Structure 1
Amino acid sequence: MDRMYRVLGFWTGIFTVMFYLGGMDKTALLFLGQTGFFVLLGYLNLTERMYMYVFGAYLTVFFAGFTYYTLFLMPPGGGLS
């Protein structure tokens, strides 16, 4: 299970570079933080159950943040004009 977090760290790192090169600096910083989080988790050697709890907590925080952003911060119409 720890290798899967390293793989997630690798892919979020790839997205970090792509977002940065595309001029999306805030998104690149968000993905850089996720990259560090996943790589750190990959080397902690936790039990499989603990990895599942951490992933569940990560998804809960993500969905809560995404819902808050789409309801309260995103402009009406999804930013399309």
Structure 2
Amino acid sequence: MDRMFRVLGFWTLAIGLMALAGDFIPMALIFFAQTAIFVLLGYMKLTERAYILIFWGYMIVSFVGFTYWSFFRLTV
């Protein structure tokens, strides 16, 4: 399971670099921060249950944040 967090770190790094190339600086910084967190978690050697709980917590926070932003902060 620890390798999966390193894979997530790789993909968030790729997305961050693409955002940086497209001049989306705040988005790139968010994804670079996620990359650092995922790679750090990937080398912590936690139990599989801990990794799953951390991942579910991450998913809940990201989905709630995205929903909040798209409904209340995004102007159409």
TM superposition score normalised by structure 2: 0.96
1:33 aligns to what? Answer: 33
Q: Deviations over 1:36-67 (max 9, x none)?
A: 11001101100000000000100110011011
Aligned to 2:72: 72
In the TM superposition, structure 1's runs of 4+ consecutive aligned residues that sit over 2 Å from their partners are: none
Paired letter, 1:52: I
Aligned length: 76
Paired position in structure 2 for 1:12: 12
Identity, % of aligned positions? 50
Where structure 2 has 5 or more consecutive residues not aligned to the other structure, the ranges are none
Look up the match of 1:79. Answer: none
The separation in 2 between residues aligned to 1:12 and 1:56, in whole angstroms, is 17
The secondary structure found in structure 2 opposite 1:45 is coil
RMSD (CA atoms): 0.7
Cα distance, 1:12 vs. partner? 0.7
Gaps of 5+ in 1: 77-81
State how far apart, in whole Å, the 2-side matches of 1:62 and 1:17 are. Answer: 20
